[in-house]
Amino acid sequence: MSFDLNLITRCDHRVYKELTALEDDFRSIRLEKPIGSTDNIRVYAMDNLLSPSLYDIVPDPEQIDVNRDRIIKLKDEWRSPRDYFEITYLTLSSFCAKCSGSNTLDDISYNVRGGLYTIRDEALLMQNIEKFVITTINSNPFHQFIGTGLVGLIGNKIANTSFLVSQITSEITRTLQKLQDLQAQYQMTGRAITPGEMLESVNDIQVTSDEEDPTILRATISVTAQSGKPVQFTQILRLR
C-alpha cells in the first residue's frame, strides 16, 4: 500500500496584515475585500497592535449591501494622518485570493503531535489527479511528460470560450490517461497498491465559469476508482 503527504487543507480565508491608510475623516479604514467575520480582526498602527476598544466594525456607508461590506471606524480621530495601518481579518470565500473560492489550499499540515498527515486509497487518488492536472508539463526535468498546459491556455486571451473549454478538457483527459498508464506500470512491478488509489475510469469533466467572477473557471473532474467508489476533484483556474 502506498501513501503520500496530505496536501489539501481547508482555507481559512485569512488576509494577513493588509496595508492601508486612513480615509479623509481620519477615522475610517476601508479594506480591499469584504470583512467576512468581525471576530479575530487585528488592527496595527505603525506595527503596534491596537486595542479593540479603540475602534468599531460598522456598515460601509458607500455600499448598498450593508450586511456584507463593513469598515473599521476609529472612535476618535487619529492624530497622525500619515501613519500606516495593517489589518488582519477574515474575508468571504468568493473574495479570497489564497483559494479563489475553492475553500481548500495545497499545503503540508501537521497534527497536534507535530506529525505529518498522510493519505491513502481514494484520497490518495484524488491528490494524484490534482498533481497531474496542476503541474505544468515539462516543468519536471525527470518526468517531463507529467502535467498539463493549462497555465499557457488560461494565460492567453481567447475570445472563443467554447474553444478554451475544449482545450482544457483535452489537456485534463490526456494527463489522466498518463496517470492511468503509469499506475498500471507501477502495479506490474509487484509493489502493493490498493484498488482505492487506482484510477479505473474518467466519468466526466465539466468546465464552468464562476457566477460572480467570469475570470474564474472551475474544472470539475469525476472519476471512479478500481474499488468502485467515485472520486470528484475541482480545480480553480483564473483567467488573466
Residue recorded with cell 482505492: 196
pLDDT for the residue numbered 1: 45
Reduced to 3 states (helix: H, G, I; strand: E, B; else coil), residue 86 is strand
Q: Is-contact 15 88, C-beta < 8 A?
A: yes
In tens, the pLDDT along 122-142 reads 988 988 898 898 888 888 787
**Residue 235 pLDDT level (bands cut at 50, 70, 90):** confident
- How far is 49 from 173, CA to CA, in rounded Å? 51
pLDDT for the residue numbered 56: 92
Reduced to 3 states (helix: H, G, I; strand: E, B; else coil), residue 224 is strand
Least confident range from 30-44, 56-70, 91-105: namely 56-70
Give 9 or 187, the one with higher predicted confidence.
187
Percent of the chain with pLDDT over 70: 86
Give buried/exposed letters for 180-218 (b at 16+ CB in 10 A, else e): bebbeeeeeeeeebbebbbbbebeebebeeeeeeeebbb
User: Residue 222 phi/psi, 5° resolution?
Assistant: -115, 125
DSSP letter for 61, please: T
In tens, the pLDDT along 174-194 reads 999 999 999 999 888 887 889
Reduced to 3 states (helix: H, G, I; strand: E, B; else coil), residue 2 is coil
pLDDT for the residue numbered 169: 94
What's the angle, vertex CA 64, arms to CA 62 and CA 67, rounded to 5? 105
- Whose CA is closest to 134, among 202, 222, 233? 233
The pTM assigned to this predicted structure is 0.57
In tens, the pLDDT along 71-117 reads 899 999 998 888 999 999 999 888 888 777 777 766 666 666 776 66
At position 115, the amino acid (one-letter code) is G
- How far is 88 from 54, CA to CA, in rounded Å? 16
Average pLDDT over residues 34-41: 86
Average pLDDT over residues 209-213: 77
> Between the ranges 43-52, 99-108, 212-221, where is the mean pLDDT highest?
43-52
Give 143 or 110, the one with higher predicted confidence.
143
**Residue 64 pLDDT level (bands cut at 50, 70, 90):** low
- Whose CA is closest to 15, among 100, 88, 107, 103? 88
pLDDT for the residue numbered 18: 93
Cell of 62: 458607500
In tens, the pLDDT along 147-159 reads 898 877 765 555 6
Q: Is the confidence at residue 234, as pLDDT, over 90?
A: no
Domain architecture of the chain: domains with CATH: 14-95 (no CATH), 120-238 (3.10.450.40)
Give 37 or 85, the one with higher predicted confidence.
85
Q: What is the 3-state secondary structure (H, E, C) of 7-52?
A: CEEECCCEEEEEEECCCCCCCEECCCCCCCEEEEEEEEECCEECCH
DSSP letter for 139, please: -
Q: Find all residues with CB under 8 Å of 33, minimum gap 6, and list them.
A: 15, 18, 91, 92, 95, 96, 97
